[in-house]
Structure formats: structure tokens, C-alpha cells
Structure 1
Amino acid sequence: MELESSSLVLGIDVGTSSVKAVLLEPVSGEVLHSESRDTRAGLESEGGAQGKEQDVCQIIRTLNDCLTALPRDGLRKVSRIGVSGQMHGVLFWRTNQGCHWINSENLRVFEPKEVSRLVTWEDGRCTTDFLSSLPQPQSHINLSSGFGCATIFWYLKNRPEFLQQYDVAGTIQDYVVAMLCGLQKPLMSVQNAASWGYFNTRTKTWNMDILQEWRFPTLFLPNILDAGSRAGKTTYEWCGIPQGADVGVALGDFQCSVYSSLSESSDAVLNISTSAQLTFSMPEGFQPEDHPSPAQAVTYFPYFKDRYLAVAASLNGGNVFASFVTMLAQWTAELGLETSDSNIYSRVINAALSVNDPQLAICPTLFGERHSPDSHAYVSNLTLADLSLGHVTRALCRGIIENIHTMMPSHRLKESGIKRIIGSGSALARNDALKQEVERIFPFPVVYGKDVDSAVGAALVMLQQ
């Protein structure tokens, strides 16, 4: 069904650290308005030192604030809503009790009610030993800590009474769609289901036999729809958006970010934000093999229209550089010299730009990797000549890029017909030393400025419906 020319499409991305909303003009696909807000939703985890949890109430409050900052007359014209968000994570709620709708400043919004915390993709409570004790999935994606089903297994073993409080679950974006559409049981796209584990993308079904044999609470598993399908319609007016607007099934933020920028089959996208990903689209008809080696660095994410993305998804990107800056700020404070993180950030990059070829080498895997969860960061080849701030910073930038190049080397890209790399992401955009290392290590033209945007991608997907 075609959109009326006066209608607008709303794209939403509920990310790890921020929420973004865009209004798209349907004919040109132009972004008319855009708003983003940091969620600041992190909580001290109940899952121990390795746990990563977020406050769902704070996330939804930020989402409502983000929408109300958009022009009121534009929101009234919204007829379709696309939603994406951080993958792998899980939260729980009770049927028909997940939220209540209230009036706030003359606008209708929803607030979470009897909802658990969000256990995010960064969660590390599922140790290697714990994961090895679980059944082997019938899937082309290996199970990792932070995956929804792994987290549910952890609760089943360690806190079964917690699960008894709830009867449905989903990702944070699935929750948003379920609340907007008044769904009793959440719907989940193939993209998000694959990110939970124990899901077969060929049959588009959960591994029910395996899970039931292990007494997994399968009532928490959402019903499945193809990515790009419609989940329902808004049951209430929301922030000025009319009741009855079409809402798409929630999508993965990674797939939507790629969808917003990948225009040629010969392009690869390198995105460095909190983490880092290098990806390209596999040919039509490609099917990944089940039970890949746990040490395999490249995984295959379901994309759109039954196609897959080849993905080297590193857990180490801008977060490593941010940890480096935080460390320097702490050292500076301990020396009695106060300065801002932003000042340190700009100074260390300038120092790195004055250094071309350090002998010092830094392996940046501070957060491990999914294919190597027990790996650690380390420094090697340290000499007196490489002790300056510029040498260390340049070596760290080089290490971040070399790490992702190790996961998906240049020869693999060439064999797949890749001719150009689209460089994007907040960490890459802010760091010229990182850009220089990309251009040094990858023998392809690198194009910047065509930034990936999951909210835009979610809206563009809805334009095709």
C-alpha cells in the first residue's frame, strides 16, 4: 500500500547508550527532522561484576522525551513506524501488564509497569564454563554471553524464582513494539531471534525440541515474523502520533544501520562506534552451515529477503579508546591535575597524528571477543623509543583496526568482490588517527560521510511496505 504524499515515516533506534528518532519524507527518503538523547540507563548489575543491566523505565522515558522534541505537526502526519534496537539482550514482563498509558504535558505516552531490568548484549555473566554446559544449538550462530536464551538459561539455573514473576520476554525493541500495538505475546523478527541463540534461520523456528528437553521455559519465546513485516497498529495516540499508525516488527540495529548505507553489492561497511563491525552482503541464495567452529570470527546475520550479511563483529572498538581516555583521566586526577575527558581525547589524538610507525604493538581485546571470550588485551615490543603519549595512542588505534582486519582479512574481501569500504560510526568520525590506520591496513578506497544510521534504516525498511 502506497503512502500518501502528506504522510511521514518515523524511524526509531533504541541503542545501547542512546535513543534516536527521525522523521522521513516518503517520496525522497529525506530526513526532515532528527532527535537523539543519551539514555544514561546503566545500573549496577544483579548478575555480578560481569553483569550489564539497564533501567527500562529510564530508556522509555528517554524515548518519549526524544519523540516529544520532534515537531508536533510532523508527528501528526506519521502513518508508519519502524523500530530497531540493540540486539541479543532480554527483558521480561507480564502479559497485559507491561505498561500503562498516561497523559504527560497534554500528550499520551506509555510508562513501563512490572517490567524487569534489561540484560544487555554486553552482559558477561555466562562464563565459558557455563556456556559449555548448555546444549548445542541447531543454528549457524554460536551461543555467547549476552544472548537472550543464554541469559534465560542462567536465570533458570541461578535464580529460577526470578523467572516465575513473568510470562513473556523480548528485546527492548520488541517490548516497544508490543506496547505500541497492545500485543499480548510479543512478536520478534528473524533478525532478533537469531541474536538470541537456539534459532534456525532456515526454518525460521526456535529449537523447541532441544530447549524443551532441557526444561527451558519456552513460554518466553516470542512468535516469529520475517524482517520487514508489519507487527500491528498503534492502539493509542502516542506523543501526537495518530492511533492506527502501522508499526513494523522490531529489527536489529546492526541490520538497519547497514541498510541505511549499503548501496552497492561491491561495498563493505566498517562501523566503529562502541564496538566495531566490518560487513558485506552475501550473494542471493547463500545459506550458512550449521554448527560453525566456536573459533570462527566471521558470522552470518540474517538481513532482508532471506539474505545474509557476512559480519566480523568485534566487541572492541570505541569502547577500548574510551577506556584508555578514562584511564588517563584517572591517572591525571591521582596526580592532582584535573582536566576533562574531552580535553584528554583531543590531545591524545593530536599526539597520535604526529607519530607514523610505532614499533610498539597493542592487542586491544580488553572486552574479549565472542569467538575468543577469554582473550585479554596486552602490550608487546615495548622499547624506550615508544613511551610517548603519541606512540601509545597510535599503537592503540592501529591495534583496534588490525584486530578487525584479523577477523576479516583483505583477501577475504577481495575474494568476495569488495571494491570499496564505507567508513562510519561515531568513534571513527572523531578520530583521524583511526581513519589513517583503516587506510593503511585495508587496500581499498575508503569513503566517509555516508554515516550508518539505524533509525534511518528502520524508517527506510517501512517505506518498502
Structure 2
Amino acid sequence: MELQEGALVLGIDVGTSSVKAVLVEPVSREVQHSHSRDTRAGLQGESGAQGKEQDVHQIIRALNDCLTALPRDRLRKVSRIGVSGQMHGVLFWRTNQGCQWINSENLRVFEPREVSRLVTWEDGRCTTDFLSSLPPPQSHLNVASGFGCATIFWYLKNRPDFLQQYDAAGTIQDYVVSMLCGLQKPLMSVQNAASWGYFHTRTKTWNMDILQEWGFPVPLLPTVLDAGSIAGKTSYDWCGIPQGAEVGVALGDFQCSVYSTLSESTDAVLNISTSAQLTYSMPEGFQPEDHPSPAEAVTYFPYFKDRYLAVAASLNGGNVFAAFVTMLAQWTAELGNI
């Protein structure tokens, strides 16, 4: 659908430590306004020292604050919203009770209601022994601790009563989209579904036979759509954004970060932070092997338009990053003396 003249696009990223929002003019792709807000949502994990959980109320409060900091006259021109966020993690809620809409400072916002904590991608409760006890997925991607399906399996074994409280689940960005659109069942992009495990990217389906055989609560699994699909429309005015604005199905932050950087199909992206990632887009028509190898150095993640990203990652930690920065500074100083 074509956007009306003068309409703006709102981009949201619900990250691990902060929420970011940006208003973009869609034709020129010029950023008109942006704002970010730390969530300060970390909680002591209920599963012990290895648990990494976040307070969803804090995250949504930061999101609402982030939006209200943008110019209201600009927000009224938003006709489409794109949402990305931290992948792999999972939270649970009750359909029709996941949030409540309230008036705050003459603006309409939503607050979480019947919702669990967010178990993040950093969660370590699923030990190596526990993961080895799970059925092998029918997928080219392995399952690791912090992956949504692995976490649900952990609850199924250790706290089955917990799961009985909820009838919906998703990533934090899927939750945001569901609440904005008033969805009766969560929707999830293939990017986020692949990050949960037990998802076959070629057929774009969950491993239903495997999961059902092992007693997995499959009704919790979201319906999966292609990345770039429209999930619905805003069911209320939100922070000055008009009711009826289109909302895209939530995307993975990794894919979005690459998409914003690549300009040519032959480009590669090197990202260096706590981990280092070298990424490039695979040719059209490429399909990864169904069965992953534990020793495989390159992993393939769904991208856009049925293409894949090849990713070589090193979970090297901050010490290596600090050493790399020191080395670059030394090189710069030496080159400056030539």
C-alpha cells in the first residue's frame, strides 16, 4: 500500500538494554527525529544465577516514554510502524488480558497486565545436559539456552504450573505488535521464529510432530509470517499516533542492523562488540542443509525475500574487544608518524 504524501514511518527497536525510536520520511529515508531510553529492566532470575530476566513493565514504560519524547505533530503523521527487537527470548501473556490502555498526560498508552517476565537471549538455565535431553530439531539451526522453545521446554519440565497461566507467547517485539494491534493470536516473522529453535526455515513451519510427541505446549507458538508482512493496524491512538496505522510483523534486530548497513549484495558487514560477527547475504535460491553440524563455523539466518545471511560469530567477550581497540589506536599512531 502506498503511503500518503507527508506520511511518516516510525521505527522501533526494543533492545536488551534500551529502547530506540526514529521517525523517517519514507521517500527520502531522511531521519527527522529520534530518541532512545534505557530500560533498566534487569531482574534477579527466578531460576538462579544463570537466569537472565527482565521486567516487561519497565520495558514498556521506557517505550512509552521514548515515544512521548518525540514531537506530537510529527507522531500524528505516522501511518506505518516497524518494530524490531532482541531475538531468541520469550515472554508469556494471556490473550485479551495482556495489556490495558490508559490515558497518561493526555495521551493514550498501554501498560502490561497479565504478562510474565521476559526470559532473554542471555539466559543460561538450559544446561548442556538439559539441552542434550531434548529431541533434535528438524532444522539447519541448533537449539541453545536462551532460545524460546528451549526455555519453554525448561518450564515444561521444572515448572509446568507456570505455563498453565498463559495462552500466548512471543519475543518482546512480538508482544508489542500484538498489543498495538489487539491480536487474538501472536504473529511472528520467520526471523524471530528461527531464533526460537524447532523451526524449519524452508517450509516456514514449526516442528509440530516432534514438539507434540514430547508434550510441548504447541498452542503457545505464534503464527509465522514472512518478514515484511503487515501484522495489523493500531487498535487505539498511541502516544499521538493515529488509530489505524499499519504495523509490520516484528523483525529480528540482527537482520535489521545488517539491512541498514548493506548497500550492495556483494557487501559484508563486520560488527565488533561483546561478540564479533562477520555477515554477508547469500545468493538468491540458496538453502542451508537441514541438519546442523556442531562444529560448523558459519550459521545461516533467514533474512528478507527468502534469502539467508551467512554469519561467522565469535563470542569473544569484552577483553578481546578492548585489545582490538588498543591495537587500532596503536596502528593509527604509528601510521600518523609515517
Deviations 1:101-145 (A, max 9, x none): 000000000000010000000001101111000000000100100
1:56 equivalent to 2:56? Answer yes
Give distance in 1, aligned partners of 2:247 and 2:276: 29
Contact 1:169 1:222 in 2 (8 A): yes
- Aligned pair count reads 332
SS in 1 for 2:19: strand
Deviation at 1:397, TM superposition (A): 1.9
Report sequence identity in percent.
Answer: 84
> Which structure's residues are more often strand, by fraction?
2
Match of 2:224 in 1: 224
1:329-348 correspondence to structure 2 within 5 Å: none
Q: 1:438 to 1:44 in 2, by over 3 A?
A: farther
CA RMSD of aligned residues (A): 1.6
Quick one: which amino acid aligns to residue 129 of structure 2? Answer: D
Q: What is aligned with 1:283?
A: 283
Counterpart position of 1:105? 105
1:207 paired residue number: 207
Cα distance change, pair 171–265 in 1 and its aligned pair in 2 (3 A): same
Q: Distance between the aligned counterparts of 1:272 and 1:60, measured in 2?
A: 28
Question: Structure 1 residue 434: deviation in Å?
Answer: 6.0
Match of 1:131 in 2: 131
TM-score normalised by L of structure 2: 0.95
* Counterpart among 397, 416, 425 of residue 323 in structure 2: 397
SS of the aligned residue for 2:176 comes to helix
Deviations 1:83-106 (A, max 9, x none): 000000000001111000000000
Contact 1:140 1:200 in 2 (8 A): yes
Corresponding residue for residue 337 of structure 1: none
Residue by residue over 1:396-417, the C-alpha shift from the partner in whole angstroms, topping out at 9 and shown as x without a partner, is 524xxxxxxxxxxxxxxxxxxx
Question: 2:336 aligns to what?
Answer: none
Tell me the secondary structure at the aligned position of residue 145 of structure 1: coil
Taking structure 1 as reference, are residues 438 and 171 closer, same or farther at Cα in structure 2, changes over 3 Å only? Answer: farther
Query: 1-side partners of 2:171 and 2:204: how far apart?
Result: 17
Deviations 1:228-257 (A, max 9, x none): 000000000000000000000000000001
Mapped partners of 1:397, 1:437: distance in 2: 11
Is the CA contact (8 Å cut-off) linking 1:397 and 1:437 kept in structure 2? Answer: no
Question: 1: CA distance between counterparts of 2:327 and 2:95?
Answer: 47
The Cα offsets for residues 240-296 of structure 1, whole Å up to 9 and x where unpaired, read as 000000000000000001111101122211122443322010011100001111122
- What amino acid does structure 1 have at the position aligned with 2:100? H
Q: Which amino acid aligns with 2:8?
A: L
Partner residue, 1:339: none
Instruction: Describe how 1:156-195 pairs up with structure 2 within 5 A.
Output: 156-195=156-195
**Structure 1 segments unaligned to the other structure (5+ residues):** 322-363, 365-393, 399-431, 440-465
- Give the aligned residue type for 1:19: V
